[in-house]
Chain A
Amino acid sequence: MSPRAGRSHPEDEVTYTKGEVNRAGKLLRAIVEEIEANKDDHDVLVEVTHRLVDAIEVISWWRRLHAHPLSKVAVNLRYHVSAEGCDHVDVTQRLKRLPTIIDKLEREPTMQLTQMGDIGGVRARVPSLDHLRAVSRRLQRTWTIVRTRDYIEEPRDSGYRAVHHIVRRDERLIEVQLRTPFQDAWANQVEEDSRRLDVGYKFGQGDADVHDYYRAISEVFAVLDREEDLSPDQVAAINESYSLAAGKLEREPEREDN
């Protein structure tokens, strides 16, 4: 730990054990179910909400412990990205949103909160597939990597492509995402659709036609990333899936302009 300069760090004021952190994660799952089951019972809801606030406090504290390790990883990643000759160093770090942490605990019932690998995350958008591979190899040479997921070799069912490394820094797990501009545009569009339409497309939920379109687009982007030509079959797949999905995506919603 580096010496502290004057300001107290909020995470040092209280401490919890890993056991307490994991228990808070479990508790939270139970609380979410309890809220669903007691929607109409005001007294129960008030009591449950108190417990919810306590659990969230522990989780928020645990998340906060990732902030500085995350910054260190991000600083290193910027260095490696620029050392591989990427002209823009597009590197952004984020601490996972609490609602997203809670959703993930719900989706993956066996997950221990202290084992969640992406509470601190850093994303690099690099200019090409060659840059991505070069940066990735560099990280593998120089970092302690706990787990690698190559979603370019094996895309997710949704069509998601990227390379993820989970690294350990100062006893915390931090996720590094490497994406080409095509992969990043794909992921951001699916993210935006999921949020705007309130459907979990990014988790494989929702309409099958929409997923076919996402996968077809992802295939085409992968071809473009490899600087190959599109086959007539791929062009046909895009057009066919687009015609089935376009109406369901409400791609250009009317928005207020103020």
Chain B
Amino acid sequence: MTSADIKHFLIVYDIPTGKARVRDFGADYDIALAAYAEIEAEMKDRDDLDIVLLSADSLETVKRTHSSYFETRESFESLLPPGVLTR
């Protein structure tokens, strides 16, 4: 795998609603980087957004490694062996 196989995803995460909008730039890193800087400058006063450019072989990988932005996040409690947390 070379860097040409890597896809670039610009994540705009809306903190209050917990939803991420994802823009897929495919393999074009330069365009993705320009868009990242541009939207960041445009939204610099928006404390309610988290904007980040993440790159991997697929969006599924990004969702695993950066699950804090996605519904793939596993809560602590769900990862404990059954019966450990009695509440």
Interface of A toward B, CB cutoff 8 Å: 7, 9-10, 56, 60, 64, 67-68, 71-72, 74-75, 78-79, 88-95, 97-98, 123-125, 182, 184-186, 188-189, 191-192, 195-196, 217, 220-221, 224, 230, 235, 238-239, 242-243, 251, 253, 255-256
- A89 and B62 alpha carbons, distance in the complex (Å): 11
Chain B residue at minimum C-beta to C-beta distance from A221: B79
Query: Contact flags (1/0) for B44-87 with A, using CB distance below 8 Å?
Result: 10000011111111000110111110000111110111001111
CB atoms of B55 and A74 under 8 A apart = yes
- Chain A: CB-nearest residue to B72: A188
Complex contact A192–B79 (CB within 8 A):
no
Classify the interface of chain B: helix, strand, loop or mixed: mixed
Determine the chain A residues whose CB is within 8 A of the CB of B25 once the complex forms.
Answer: none
Q: Which B residues, 11 to 61, have Cβ-Cβ distances below 8 Å to chain A? A: 15, 17-18, 29-30, 33-34, 36-37, 40-41, 44, 50-57, 61
Flag if A74 contacts B75 (CB, 8 Å). no
Query: What are the residues of chain A within 8 A of B75 when measuring CB–CB?
Result: 189, 251
Beyond the given A92-B56, A92-B61, please list 13 additional residue pairs across the A-B interface where CB-CB is below 8 A: A10-B33, A71-B55, A91-B56, A92-B65, A97-B51, A182-B79, A188-B67, A188-B73, A238-B85, A239-B87, A242-B85, A251-B75, A253-B18
Contact B30 A60 (CB under 8 A): no
Contact A72 to B50, CB < 8 A, known contacts A191-B68, A255-B18: no
Q: How far is the CA of A27 from the CA of B50 in the complex (A)?
A: 24
Which residues of the partner chain A approach B18 to less than 8 Å between Cβ atoms?
196, 253, 255
Whether the Cβ atoms of A60 and B37 lie closer than 8 Å is yes
A188 to B62, CA, bound (A): 12
Tell me whether B61 and A224 are in contact (CB under 8 A).
no
Asked if B40 and A123 sit within 8 Å, CB to CB, the answer is no
Which of B57, B65, B76, B84 is most buried by chain A, counting CB atoms within 10 A of its CB?
A: B76
CB closest chain-A residue, reference B15:
A195
- Name the 8 nearest CB pairs between A and B, nearest first: A188-B68, A92-B65, A191-B68, A192-B68, A71-B3, A92-B56, A188-B67, A217-B76
30 CB-based A-B contacts, threshold 8 Å = A7-B30, A9-B30, A64-B37, A71-B3, A71-B29, A74-B6, A75-B2, A75-B3, A78-B1, A90-B65, A91-B56, A91-B61, A95-B53, A97-B40, A97-B51, A98-B40, A123-B66, A185-B74, A188-B66, A189-B74, A189-B75, A217-B80, A220-B80, A230-B81, A238-B80, A239-B85, A239-B86, A242-B77, A251-B75, A251-B77
Interface size of B by CB at 8 A reads 43
Answer whether A90 and B64 are a contact pair too, CB < 8 Å, given A71-B3, A71-B6, A251-B75. Answer: yes
Residues of B within 8 A of A (CB): 1-3, 6, 15, 17-18, 29-30, 33-34, 36-37, 40-41, 44, 50-57, 61-62, 64-68, 73-77, 79-81, 84-87
A74–B3 touching, CB < 8 Å: yes
Residues on the A chain within 8 Å of B77, using CB: 242, 251
Tell me the smallest distance from the CB of A100 to a CB of chain B, in Å.
9
Task: Considering the complex, give the chain B residue whose CB is closest to the CB of A190.
Answer: B68
